[in-house]
């Protein structure tokens, strides 16, 4: 897929104008060009022509929900008009993974419609989006249509969780470990973390048996089990798995046969109410419950990047918030995602993958055969000792976060940021937060005044997610 970098060739305009160098540039990543600065520079340059083209984007989901986003582009006869496609495609890419949908309505950009449609049919990156977001999550391939006016915006949000009564099990399935906790009336009585390696396991029984094992271990610490709630990486609809990185090693036929309804089978086995949703959503719910506040953007920096959102009314939306695949760096040679192959996406900036990518440039000597969790442990241990090489890694991630939180604010209405995941543990995590604050105060002062970080202590990190997950089902 790296051979398709030509699809994102350097823009005709000078990089200084179109992809401005940020004031804060990571020493280990000097080509970093934040999406927020690139989009703003592009739109300003288009407006400076005196005749910018207003472009409307409406993203339609399978349930009829429709979301709007607007931007501007260069007029068709302008010398820089050939940059319009890349600008619009990157915004649509972000929207597809942030909100989800299958039908893209474009107003003011009729000339881009056939090219964008072809992108999802023949470009490797676009075909990945079409397969995952279109077919697997919405049941149909992505369709791009032109229109004179966007269809009316419509969406729904729903309350979920915050049920603390009874004896419950909460579980969380990550890429490097699975967790389960026994909870009685909102109090954690037992919790356990077990290492596993689900990503490339082709046998779905491995996943099922692991989940059942963790549930049984937690149940042993309860007088009875009234409900089970879970969080897991991936996309889930009514407890069915539509797509999830946890099962990426399972072939299509076995996925349909054994994975798609796996949690329905688990619920049947236990005979109690069960709900499972995206781990990022549970992260945001955990933060909202802990703070007693709404408008929470949750970011989990673990094996990959998890994202979740609780709106200003305290509800979970129909949005995907799969920010691991949402672009945050617009440089034409940005790091490639290890799965989709696309460039500049969140997982390479906010996860153990980011640490592993930055590690070689830091000068730290380490065994190259070690897996990412072990690499992270090396960096964390050196950070504990005040090692400047480790500091540079966390400094880069902090800079990424400062610019990306401003980028996220273009798509989310939020006031609180909750950070979780192994990358945020210890002094390295503290530096990430402080560095991101410095970036926002210098580059986005209004945002810096509005946004508040919620920094969970170790107890909340360990138990908050479990309590939130356990609270998902209502007990009949």
**Structure token pair of residue 24:** 């804060």
13 falls in which pLDDT band (50, 70, 90)?
A: very low
Three-class SS state of 418: strand
Please determine whether the domains at 158-280 and 283-466 fall in the same fold group of CATH: yes
Burial of 334 (C-beta count, 10 Å sphere; 0-12/13-18/19+): buried
The residues near 472 (Cβ < 8 Å, ≥ 6 apart) are: 160, 161, 163, 227, 229, 230, 275, 276, 277, 282
* Higher local confidence (pLDDT), 56 or 18: 56
Model confidence over 340-349: pLDDT tens digits? Answer: 999 999 999 9
β-sheet with 274-278: strand ranges across? 187-195, 177-184, 167-173, 227-232, 274-278
Q: Average pLDDT in the 32-54 region?
A: 97
**For residue 76, what is the DSSP state?**
T
Is the pLDDT at 470 greater than 50? The verdict is yes
Model confidence over 220-235: pLDDT tens digits? Answer: 999 999 999 999 888 8
Separation between Cα atoms, residue 41 and residue 16, nearest integer Å: 9
**Structure token pair of residue 282:** 């549970």
Give the count of alpha carbons within 13 A of 348, CB side only: 22
Is the pLDDT at 239 greater than 70? The verdict is yes
Separation between Cα atoms, residue 193 and residue 174, nearest integer Å: 10
Is the pLDDT at 5 greater than 90? The verdict is no
Model confidence over 359-370: pLDDT tens digits? Answer: 999 999 999 999
| Of residues 325, 326, 328, 333, the one with CA closest to residue 9 | 333
- List the single range of 76-85, 177-186, 278-287, 459-468 with lowest mean pLDDT: 459-468
| Alpha-carbon separation of residue 247 from 241, 277, 299, 461, 465 (angstroms) | 9, 15, 21, 25, 21
- Please provide the CATH number assigned to the domain covering 158-280: 3.30.420.40
| Of residues 271, 278, 30, 29, the one with CA closest to residue 137 | 278
Separation between Cα atoms, residue 247 and residue 198, nearest integer Å: 7
| Of residues 469, 358, 377, the one with CA closest to residue 425 | 377
Model confidence over 156-195: pLDDT tens digits? Answer: 887 888 999 999 999 999 888 899 999 999 999 999 999 9
Separation between Cα atoms, residue 197 and residue 246, nearest integer Å: 9
Is the separation of the CB atoms in 377 and 257 below 8 Å? no
Q: Average pLDDT in the 63-87 region?
A: 95
- Please provide the CATH number assigned to the domain covering 283-466: 3.30.420.40
**Structure token pair of residue 4:** 């398709």
Q: Average pLDDT in the 135-147 region?
A: 94
Is the pLDDT at 328 greater than 50? The verdict is yes
Is the pLDDT at 292 greater than 80? The verdict is yes
| Number of neighbours of residue 314 by Cβ within 10 angstroms | 19
pLDDT for the residue 187: 93
**Structure token pair of residue 446:** 């209004």
Q: Where are the domains of the chain?
A: 51-155, 158-280, 283-466
């Amino acid at each position: 897929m790296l051979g398709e970098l030509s699809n994102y060739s350097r823009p005709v305009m000078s990089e200084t104008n179109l992809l401005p160098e940020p004031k804060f540039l990571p020493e280990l990543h000097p080509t970093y060009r934040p999406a927020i600065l690139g989009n703003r520079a592009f739109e300003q340059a288009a407006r400076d022509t005196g005749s910018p083209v207003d472009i409307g984007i409406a993203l339609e989901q399978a349930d009829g929900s429709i979301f709007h986003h607007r931007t501007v582009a260069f007029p068709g006869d302008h010398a820089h008009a050939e940059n319009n496609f890349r600008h619009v495609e990157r915004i649509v890419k972000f929207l597809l993974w942030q909100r989800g949908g299958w039908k893209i309505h474009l107003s003011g950009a009729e000339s881009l419609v056939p090219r964008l449609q072809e992108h999802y049919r023949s470009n490797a990156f676009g075909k990945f989006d079409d397969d995952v977001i279109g077919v697997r999550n919405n049941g149909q391939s992505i369709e791009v249509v032109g229109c004179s006016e966007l269809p009316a915006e419509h969406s729904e949000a729903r309350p979920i969780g915050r049920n603390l009564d009874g004896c419950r099990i909460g579980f969380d399935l990550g890429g490097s470990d699975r967790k389960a906790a026994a909870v009685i009336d909102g109090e954690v009585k037992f919790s356990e973390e077990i290492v596993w390696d689900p990503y490339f396991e082709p046998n779905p029984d491995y996943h099922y048996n692991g989940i059942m094992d963790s549930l049984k271990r937690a149940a042993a610490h309860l007088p009875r089990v009234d409900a089970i709630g879970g969080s897991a990486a991936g996309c889930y609809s009514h407890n069915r798995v539509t797509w999830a990185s946890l099962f990426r090693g399972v072939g299509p036929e076995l996925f349909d046969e054994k994975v798609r309804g796996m949690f329905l089978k688990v619920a049947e086995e236990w005979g109690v109410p069960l709900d499972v949703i995206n781990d990022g959503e549970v992260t945001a719910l955990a933060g909202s419950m802990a703070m007693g506040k709404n408008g929470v953007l949750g970011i989990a920096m673990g094996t990959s990047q998890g994202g979740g959102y609780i709106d200003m009314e305290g509800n979970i939306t129909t949005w995907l918030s799969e920010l691991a695949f949402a672009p945050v760096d617009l440089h034409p040679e940005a790091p490639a995602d290890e799965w989709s192959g696309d460039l500049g996406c969140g997982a390479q900036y906010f996860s153990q993958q980011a640490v592993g990518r930055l590690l070689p440039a830091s000068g730290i000597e380490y065994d190259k055969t070690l897996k990412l969790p072990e690499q992270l442990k090396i960096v964390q241990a050196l950070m504990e000792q005040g090692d400047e090489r480790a500091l540079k890694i966390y400094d880069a991630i902090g800079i990424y976060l400062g610019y990306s939180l401003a980028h996220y604010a273009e798509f989310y209405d939020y006031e609180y940021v909750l950070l979780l995941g192994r990358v945020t543990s210890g002094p390295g995590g503290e530096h990430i937060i402080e560095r991101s604050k410095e970036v926002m105060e210098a580059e986005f002062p209004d945002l810096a005044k509005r946004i508040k970080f919620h920094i969970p202590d170790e107890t909340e990190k360990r138990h908050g997610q479990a309590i939130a997950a356990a609270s998902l089902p209502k007990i009949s």
